């Protein structure tokens, strides 16, 4: 009988046993080595070392998130001179959210993609993007007329801020994978890194971004370009690598060619480039309300004060001391609406107001056209201006007399304090003239602010409020409704009559209007006396514009009460904010027709 063939499984098992190496015999040396390894592990894995390792993870993540948050604010500051603050912010929040999502969800892909090709990690790319940001803003700003205010900010931040924030989110996601969250429930341990990182990022935006805006211009480092360079240097310190060589061209461009550098040499290069446009930048600075500069047109003979992508006013410097104007107390304003504000003195009041006994409050300085005229009439004038650089430049480069009271403070704070103080001065005239960047500072048109002005105005006094807006949109009607709820007796005048042909083409009716009001009853008539020779201050501009001419009627408001009814309360400012994008975009387009593109771009 043939022998029985063993099964394959038993054969395999025997083969396995025969080929498996027997464990090495335990020796005294191996046992001691194992004990030493365990002792070393116990020594190094102490609570203090584990805590230190966790602290490194959180500090590294916090540093990246803080730098990304600060980069967000600095990016907006760098865009505002070219596009204005409101158009710059249109896509900003959405772009940040997209960058955070893309970076957080793609961290593993980035790690593996770089690991396959080199020893570099994603964070090594951060300094490269940060150091290229100033050059990218400069170069893309030069083509802003083609990009327009609608798309220019988005394109610029997509090329600069998006990769910076996205890479930061990816690096933080990778870093927090090493965080010990074992003490948390499973679902919370999964969500905590993402929620915590986003919360810290938003908090850093509020704190660090707020500090950057508050102290902008206080030193060279705190300028727009200075902060961009400082951010690049910070990224380079925390993530150095050989990739920094890729940023060398950008660093050289910033040092040698970028005219935004706050130095006399850079200003000279800027003016050399502007020579063919016929404009010269006399001085510039960065401050709490934006980038401020003084612009001269030697050929045309006028001077302007710029704030970001807006003009605060101007004067005809070529006329100072010439011909019949020799010895004038006031300069000739470039914009006639500023002369119209002085018509507060022409409003007939129950009791005549004597100039040398009167007090005036001017909110918003500009180049000082209205305060200069009031002072020239002998009126005791107080000016409230938020921006110290605006006040400095108005005093230094424009015809603002020194014999007035200057208050460099937020007007909301000042008027609230003065209205609450019964011993504080009350005024015969109040001139409210605040506007920049295509939108009004909303808190200065709320019911509460106007109530404070009502308190500060004497019973016999007159207030003039300048408002720039598009009559085809709700804001002008909302503002007028709010003003009339506090000052029932009012009349409104436009700077110019509506251009019906332009309105038919564009559907926009953007203009300055001045609302003259008193504290009299609603049925009281606002009437103006005819200006005399003394009222005109020997000024051709005042001869043409001092007496209001183009009255606003109900039909001029192109929206009805249903769309823009009620008044503007302090806690309802979104009623105007939602229209700012439209009005600011229109204002940007208008400003590009007032001055050449190169003047706005070469800030």
Q: What is the pLDDT of residues 60-107, one digit of tens each?
A: 999 999 999 999 999 999 999 999 999 999 999 999 999 999 999 887
Q: Give the C-alpha separation, 446 to 415, whole Å.
A: 13
**pLDDT tens for residues 148-206?**
999 999 999 999 999 999 999 999 999 998 898 888 887 888 899 999 999 999 999 99
| Pair 339, 213 in one domain | no
pLDDT at 16 over 70: no
Per-residue pLDDT band at 118 (split at 50, 70, 90): low
Nearest to 197 by CA among 68, 50, 55: 68
Counts for the chain of helices (H) and strands (E), in that order: 25, 12
- The label of the residue with tokens 């027997």 reads 22
Higher-pLDDT residue of 556 and 404 is 404
| Pair 227, 340 in one domain | no
**Number of structural domains the chain divides into:** 2
**Domain contains 300:** no
Starting at the edge strand that comes first in sequence, how are the strands of the sheet with 489-494 ordered? Answer: 405-408, 380-385, 359-363, 427-433, 457-470, 510-518, 489-494, 550-551
**Domain contains 292:** no
pLDDT at 470 over 70: yes
**Domain contains 319:** no
Residues 430, 431, 433: CA angle, nearest 5 degrees: 150
Per-residue pLDDT band at 14 (split at 50, 70, 90): very low
Question: What's the rounded mean pLDDT across residues 246-252?
Answer: 97
Whole-prediction pTM: 0.87
| Pair 251, 334 in one domain | no
- The label of the residue with tokens 């009349």 reads 491
Strand partners, 512: 468
With residue 459 as reference, give the H or E element that holds it.
strand 457-470
Looking at 256, 289, 308, the residue that finishes a domain is 256
| Pair 194, 337 in one domain | no
Higher-pLDDT residue of 558 and 247 is 247
pLDDT at 603 over 60: yes
Residues 310, 134, 595: CA angle, nearest 5 degrees: 25
Higher-pLDDT residue of 499 and 38 is 499
What pLDDT, on the 0 to 100 scale, is given for residue 240?
93
**Domain contains 242:** yes
Question: What's the rounded mean pLDDT across residues 308-334?
Answer: 91
Question: Cα 192 to chain center, whole Å?
Answer: 32
What pLDDT, on the 0 to 100 scale, is given for residue 515?
96
Q: Give the C-alpha separation, 482 to 113, whole Å.
A: 59
What pLDDT, on the 0 to 100 scale, is given for residue 8?
45
Q: Give the C-alpha separation, 341 to 347, whole Å.
A: 11
C-alpha pair distances (Å), 8 with each of 5, 11, 13, 14, 261: 9, 5, 9, 10, 83
| Pair 213, 102 in one domain | yes
| Pair 216, 112 in one domain | yes
pLDDT at 439 over 80: no
pLDDT at 399 over 80: yes
Q: Give the C-alpha separation, 149 to 591, whole Å.
A: 11
What pLDDT, on the 0 to 100 scale, is given for residue 485?
95
Provide the 8-state DSSP code for 310.
E
84: left (phi over 0), alpha (psi -120 to 50) or beta: left
Nearest to 398 by CA among 300, 495, 332: 332
What pLDDT, on the 0 to 100 scale, is given for residue 26?
64
Looking at 256, 281, 306, the residue that finishes a domain is 256
| Pair 249, 372 in one domain | no
Phi, psi dihedrals of residue 291, rounded to the nearest 5°: -80, 120
What pLDDT, on the 0 to 100 scale, is given for residue 410?
95
| Pair 422, 547 in one domain | yes
**Domain contains 122:** yes
Q: Give the C-alpha separation, 589 to 601, whole Å.
A: 14
Question: What's the rounded mean pLDDT across residues 484-495?
Answer: 95
Q: Give the C-alpha separation, 365 to 404, whole Å.
A: 12
Q: Give the C-alpha separation, 196 to 444, whole Å.
A: 37
Question: What's the rounded mean pLDDT across residues 28-37?
Answer: 71
| Pair 230, 342 in one domain | no
Q: Report the CATH number at residue 531.
A: 3.40.50.150
Provide the 8-state DSSP code for 215.
S
Q: Give the C-alpha separation, 297 to 278, whole Å.
A: 6
Identify whether the C-beta of residue 337 lies closer than 8 Å to the C-beta of residue 493: no
Per-residue pLDDT band at 511 (split at 50, 70, 90): confident
Looking at 210, 226, 256, the residue that finishes a domain is 256
What pLDDT, on the 0 to 100 scale, is given for residue 17?
47
What pLDDT, on the 0 to 100 scale, is given for residue 508?
84
b/e map of 455-493 (b: 16 or more CB within 10 Å)? ebbbeebbbbbbbbbbbbbbbbbbbbbbbbebbebbbbb
Per-residue pLDDT band at 446 (split at 50, 70, 90): very high
With residue 460 as reference, give the H or E element that holds it.
strand 457-470
**C-alpha radius of gyration, the chain, whole number:** 33
| Pair 249, 335 in one domain | no
Q: Give the C-alpha separation, 140 to 152, whole Å.
A: 8
**Domain contains 281:** no
Strand partners, 296: 280, 303
C-alpha pair distances (Å), 511 with each of 69, 444, 590: 38, 19, 11
Q: Give the C-alpha separation, 59 to 38, whole Å.
A: 30
Rounded to 10 deg, the angle between the 161-176 and 92-105 helix axes is: 40
Q: Give the C-alpha separation, 482 to 465, whole Å.
A: 12
Q: Give the C-alpha separation, 117 to 254, whole Å.
A: 31
Domain that holds residue 110: 49-256
Question: Cα 185 to chain center, whole Å?
Answer: 42
**What is the per-residue DSSP string for 110-144?**
HHHHHHHH-S--GGGGHHHHHHHHHHHHHHHHTTH
Question: What's the rounded mean pLDDT across residues 262-281?
Answer: 95
**Domain contains 293:** no
Percent above pLDDT 90 for the chain: 71
Q: Give the C-alpha separation, 71 to 95, whole Å.
A: 13
The pLDDT mean for the chain works out to: 90
- Residue 236 half-sphere exposure, CB side, CA atoms within 13 Å? 19
Q: Give the C-alpha separation, 553 to 538, whole Å.
A: 32
Q: Give the C-alpha separation, 357 to 588, whole Å.
A: 42
What pLDDT, on the 0 to 100 scale, is given for residue 117?
58
What pLDDT, on the 0 to 100 scale, is given for residue 5?
46
Per-residue pLDDT band at 1 (split at 50, 70, 90): very low
**Domain contains 178:** yes
Per-residue pLDDT band at 510 (split at 50, 70, 90): confident
């Amino acid at each position: 009988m043939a022998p029985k063939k063993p099964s394959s499984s038993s054969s395999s098992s025997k083969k396995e046993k025969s080929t498996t190496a027997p464990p090495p015999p335990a020796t005294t040396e191996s046992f001691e080595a194992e004990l030493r390894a365990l002792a070393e592990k116990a020594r190094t894995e102490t609570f203090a070392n584990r805590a230190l390792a966790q602290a490194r993870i959180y500090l590294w993540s916090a540093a990246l998130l803080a730098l990304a948050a600060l980069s967000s604010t600095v990016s907006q500051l760098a865009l505002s001179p070219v596009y204005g603050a409101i158009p710059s912010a249109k896509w900003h929040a959405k772009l940040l959210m997209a960058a955070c999502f893309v970076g957080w969800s793609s961290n593993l892909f980035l790690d593996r993609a770089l690991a396959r090709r080199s020893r570099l990690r994603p964070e090594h790319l951060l300094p490269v993007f940060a150091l290229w940001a100033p050059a990218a803003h400069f170069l893309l700003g030069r083509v802003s007329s083609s990009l327009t205010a609608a798309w220019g900010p988005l394109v610029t931040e997509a090329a600069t801020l998006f990769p910076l924030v996205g890479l930061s989110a990816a690096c933080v996601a990778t870093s927090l994978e090493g965080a010990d969250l074992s003490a948390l429930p499973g679902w919370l341990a999964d969500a905590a890194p993402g929620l915590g990182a986003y919360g810290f990022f938003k908090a850093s935006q509020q704190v660090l971004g707020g500090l950057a805006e508050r102290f902008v211009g206080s030193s060279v480092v705190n300028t727009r370009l200075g902060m961009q360079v400082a951010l690049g240097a910070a990224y380079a310190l925390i993530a150095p690598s050989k990739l920094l060589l890729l940023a060398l061209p950008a660093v050289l461009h910033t040092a040698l060619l970028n005219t935004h550098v706050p130095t006399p040499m850079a200003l000279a290069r800027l003016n050399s480039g502007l020579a063919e446009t016929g404009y010269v930048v006399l001085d510039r600075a960065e401050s709490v309300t934006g980038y401020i500069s003084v612009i001269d047109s030697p050929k045309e003979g006028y001077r302007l004060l710029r704030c970001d992508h807006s003009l605060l006013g101007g004067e005809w410097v070529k006329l100072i001391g010439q011909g019949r104007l020799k010895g004038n107390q006031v300069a000739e304003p470039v914009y006639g609406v500023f002369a119209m504000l002085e018509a507060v003195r022409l409003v007939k009041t129950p009791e005549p107001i004597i100039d040398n006994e009167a007090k005036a409050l001017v909110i918003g300085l500009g180049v000082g056209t209205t305060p200069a005229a009031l002072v020239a009439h002998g009126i005791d004038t107080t000016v409230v201006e938020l921006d110290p650089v605006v006040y400095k430049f108005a005093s230094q480069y424009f015809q603002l007399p020194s014999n007035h009271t200057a208050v460099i403070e937020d007007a909301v704070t000042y008027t609230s304090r003065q209205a609450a103080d019964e011993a504080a001065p009350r005024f015969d005239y109040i001139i409210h003239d605040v506007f920049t960047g295509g939108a009004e500072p909303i808190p200065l048109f709320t019911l509460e602010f106007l109530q404070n002005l009502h308190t500060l105005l004497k019973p016999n006094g007159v207030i003039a409020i300048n408002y720039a807006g598009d009559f085809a949109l709700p804001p002008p009607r909302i503002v007028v409704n709010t003003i009339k709820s506090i000052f029932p007796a009012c009349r409104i005048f436009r700077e110019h009559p509506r251009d019906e042909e332009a309105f038919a083409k564009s559907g926009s009716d953007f203009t300055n209007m001045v609302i003259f009001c008193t504290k009299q009853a609603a049925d009281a008539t606002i009437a103006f006396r005819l200006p005399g020779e003394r009222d005109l201050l020997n000024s051709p501009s005042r001869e043409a514009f001092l007496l209001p001419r183009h009255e606003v009627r109900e039909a001029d408001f192109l929206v009805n009460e249903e769309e823009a009814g009620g008044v503007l309360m302090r806690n309802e400012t979104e009623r105007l904010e939602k229209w700012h994008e439209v009005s600011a975009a229109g204002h940007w387009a208008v400003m590009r027709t007032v001055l050449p593109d190169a003047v706005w771009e070469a800030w």
